[in-house]
Amino acid sequence: MASAIYILDIWHNLLISRKYKQDLDDSLILSNYVSQKKSQPIFHYQGCNYISYQADDIIILMVSFSNINCVSNLYFCHQFANALKEYLDGRPLDDSSIRENFVLVYQLFDETFDFGIPQLTDFNILREYIKLSDQDSDSETSNIDSKSKSSQKIDTTNSNLLNTSISRTATTNLSWRPKGIFYPKNEFFVNLVESLNLLYLLETKKLQRNFISGQVTCQCYLSGMPRLIIALNVAKDDSLFDNVNYHQCINSEEQDSKQSKVITFTPPDGKFTLFTYQILQRSLHLKPLVLVDPIYKLFCKKNTYRLRITASLTTHFKRNLSLNDLKICIPIIINQTKSQLSSLSTQLLVDYNIPPKFKCKLGNAKVNLETNCIIWEIHALPGNVTNNPNVDDFKLTCEFQLIDRHSLLGQLHELSSVDKQNQNSIYYLSIQTEEKRLNDSLDEDTEIPDLRNPSALISLSFQLPLMAYSGIMVEYLTITEDQFPYQTFPWVKYLTKTDNYHLKLGQNNFINNINDEDLTRASEEPGSSTNVAAVDTSNDQLNQGPPATASPSQRKYSFDEYHIG
C-alpha cells in the first residue's frame, strides 16, 4: 500500500500529489528523496521506501512506510505515465502539461488508486470512466484519418452515461475489453513494423551484426466480443522469433507450443501492441537492403591535389517496391601514408575556399561541416539496383580541392594579421575549435568517432513500405463473433525502417595516386604555394583554440593557437 504519490519536474519541484496518509510531511519526504537519490529507481531510507520513475520531463514518485511489492508499483508508475500520455495525444510529459491538465491527473489518481493500492491502468477501460470534452469537433473534416476520427469520437450527448458492463470488466476473464461495444463499420488494422540494427563490412563483404526488432500494432474497431486468428508464415517449419513479448490478450503458453505461428486472441478496443519480437541469428543470412560502396581517390591534376569520392548504390529487394526518404552520410576522409603525414608540407586538408563539385542524377548532395561528411538524400529509390560501372543513374561523384597544412597555416596567419576571414578560417578555426571544446567537456570515457580513421562508418536511414525485412507475412486473418455475425474489413500493412544501419569502410575503398616524392618536390619549389617563408611552424602543436581574452586586432597570433584536425 502506497502512502503517497508525487509528480515532480526534472528539478525535483513538486507539481501535484495525492496523499493516502494524512500525517505525512511532504517537504521532509522530498528533501530526503533529493538528498539520498541514487541511480537505482528503488531505495530505502529511514524506514521509507522510495519508488521513482522518470517519464520524459517528469518524475513519478511513490513512497510507502510498509512492506510492499516495489517492482509491481514501479510497473504501475510506468503504466500510469503511458495512460496519461494517451490522454494527452502522445505529447511529451512536462511541468506545463501537468499544470494545464491537473484535473485529469486527479481523476487518474482516483480511478487507478484505491486507498493507496494500484488498481486499473488500462487506457481502453479508463477512457470509459474518464471522458474528456470533445473540443475539436469542428475540425473533423480536416486531413486527419476519417476512420480514426469517427471511431474515437465521443458522443457528447451521452457523455455522462456509463456502460454498466465496464464496472464488471476488471473482474472478468477478459479484463482488457468491456462488453457492449458497437461500430457501424467493423474494421481491424494490423501494422507490422521492423527496425534494423546492421553493421556490414565493405572490405570482407560480410555482415558483422544484423539484429531485427519488430512489433505488431493493431487498431481494433470491432463490435461485440470478437475472436481473431492471425497466422504468420505457417508454411515454414523453422522458428520465426528469438524473443517475443505478447499482449495480455494472448495466451503465451499456448503460443509457445505453436511456435508463435498461429495467434488466437480477443483484442482490446482501439490501439494496442499485439506483440514485439527480435530476430538475431537467422537475420545474419539475409542481404542488406541497401549498400553504398564508395571509392576515395587521391590524385594530382594541374598542379593541385584533389580528393574524388565516388559512391554507387546497390539494392536487394523487389523492383516493384520503392525505398523512401533515403539519407546517406559519407565521411570525408583523406587517407595518406605515414610518410606523407610526417611533415606539415605533405599533410593534405580540404580547401573549403574552393567549392566542391557534385554530380548525381538521383537526389541531392551537400556537405555537412559539423559532422565532416557528405549527405546524399534520395526521395525514392527503386529495387533491384545493381552496381553497373557504365551507368551513372545511381552514382554520386564529389570532388574536393586539397591544400597542404603548411600553406593553410600561412594563409590563416596572413588573414589574422589583417583581421579577416575566409571559408577555411571559419571551418578550421571556428567550427573545429568549438567542436574540440565540446569534446573536452565530455567525460573521459565518452567515445568520440574519428572521421579520418579509414575504418569510419557510413550511416544510412530510410523506410521501406510494403515489406518486412525478415520475410514475415500474415498468411490469413479471420474474425468471428459468436453472438451475431457481421461483415469485417481486415487490413495489413508492412514497414521496414532503420534504427542503426552502418557500413564499415576498408582499405579497398581508398586509392592514393600521389607519390611522396611529388609532395616533397612541390613543397621545395621556389614559386610553390606551399613555400611560406614568413611562417614559423617549429612549435606548431595544433591543439589549442584561441584565448577568449583580447580582441583579434590586439592578439599576437601564433600557430600554437590553431587546432586543425
**77 to each of 5, 19, 55, 200, 464, how far by Cα in Å?**
10, 16, 9, 40, 35
DSSP helix/strand/coil, 544: coil
Q: For residues 318 and 354, what is the distance between their CA atoms, to the nearest angstrom?
A: 41
Full set of structural domains in the chain with CATH: 4-121 (3.30.450.60)
**125 to each of 245, 270, 304, 417, 467, how far by Cα in Å?**
22, 10, 72, 73, 34
Average pLDDT over residues 507-515: 88
**Element spanning 73, H or E:** helix 70-87
List, for residues 121-143, the tens digit of each pLDDT value.
Answer: 888 778 777 877 654 434 333 44
From the list 159, 174, 160, the residue with the least C-alpha distance to 124 is 174
Average pLDDT over residues 148-173: 47
List, for residues 45-99, the tens digit of each pLDDT value.
Answer: 888 999 999 999 999 999 998 888 889 999 999 999 999 998 998 889 999 999 9
List, for residues 317-330, the tens digit of each pLDDT value.
Answer: 999 999 999 999 99
Q: Under a CB-based contact definition with an 8 Å cutoff, are residues 86 and 123 in contact?
A: yes
Average pLDDT over residues 24-36: 88
Q: Which residue has the cell 510494403?
A: 466
Confidence of residue 120 (pLDDT cuts 50, 70, 90): confident
DSSP helix/strand/coil, 458: strand
Task: Give the pLDDT confidence score for residue 261 in this predicted structure.
Answer: 80
Give how far the C-alpha of residue 425 lies from the chain's centroid of Cα atoms, to the nearest Å: 34
Q: Is the pLDDT of residue 378 over 90?
A: yes
The per-residue pLDDT of the chain, averaged, comes to 80
Residue of 524 and 526 predicted with greater confidence: 524
Task: Give the pLDDT confidence score for residue 1 in this predicted structure.
Answer: 80
Residue of 238 and 420 predicted with greater confidence: 420
What residues contact 281, with CB distance under 8 A and at least 6 apart?
Answer: 242
**428 to each of 242, 349, 563, how far by Cα in Å?**
48, 10, 7
Confidence of residue 453 (pLDDT cuts 50, 70, 90): low
- Show the CA angle centred on residue 513, arms to residues 507 and 519, nearest 5°: 115
From the list 316, 322, 323, the residue with the least C-alpha distance to 286 is 316
**159 to each of 153, 156, 162, 268, 479, how far by Cα in Å?**
11, 5, 8, 21, 30
List, for residues 456-505, the tens digit of each pLDDT value.
Answer: 899 999 999 999 999 899 999 999 998 888 999 999 999 999 999 999 99
Confidence of residue 315 (pLDDT cuts 50, 70, 90): very high
Enumerate the H helices of 132-183 as residue ranges.
Answer: 146-152
Report DSSP letters for 359-423, one per residue.
EESSSEEEEETTTTEEEEEEEEEESS----TT--TTEEEEEEEEEEHHHHHHHHHHHHHTT---H
Q: For residues 416 and 256, what is the distance between their CA atoms, to the nearest angstrom?
A: 72
- Show the CA angle centred on residue 506, arms to residues 461 and 201, nearest 5°: 50
Task: Give the pLDDT confidence score for residue 451 in this predicted structure.
Answer: 41
Q: Under a CB-based contact definition with an 8 Å cutoff, are residues 220 and 489 in contact?
A: no
Q: Is the pLDDT of residue 104 over 50?
A: yes
**155 to each of 79, 133, 346, how far by Cα in Å?**
27, 10, 77
What residues contact 301, with CB distance under 8 A and at least 6 apart?
Answer: none
First-to-last CA distance in the chain?
Answer: 59
Q: Is the pLDDT of residue 381 over 90?
A: yes
Copy the grid coordinates of residue 187: 474494421
- The burial of 327, by beta-carbon neighbours within 10 Å (0-12 exposed, 13-18 middle, 19 or more buried), is given as middle
List, for residues 198-248, the tens digit of each pLDDT value.
Answer: 999 999 999 999 999 999 999 999 999 999 999 988 655 566 788 888 998
Q: Is the pLDDT of residue 273 over 50?
A: yes
Share of the chain above pLDDT 70, in %: 76
Q: For residues 12 and 60, what is the distance between their CA atoms, to the nearest angstrom?
A: 10
Ramachandran assignment for 302, one of left (phi > 0), alpha (psi -120 to 50 degrees), beta (any other)? left
Average pLDDT over residues 158-162: 50
Residue of 356 and 174 predicted with greater confidence: 356
Confidence of residue 151 (pLDDT cuts 50, 70, 90): very low
Q: Is the pLDDT of residue 437 over 70?
A: no
Q: Label residues 128-167 b or e (16+ Cβ within 10 Å = b).
A: bebbeeeeeeeeeeeeeeeeeeebeeeeeeeeeeeeeeee
Task: Give the pLDDT confidence score for residue 138 in this predicted structure.
Answer: 41
- Residue at 540: amino acid letter: D
Q: For residues 464 and 441, what is the distance between their CA atoms, to the nearest angstrom?
A: 39
Q: Under a CB-based contact definition with an 8 Å cutoff, are residues 221 and 186 in contact?
A: yes
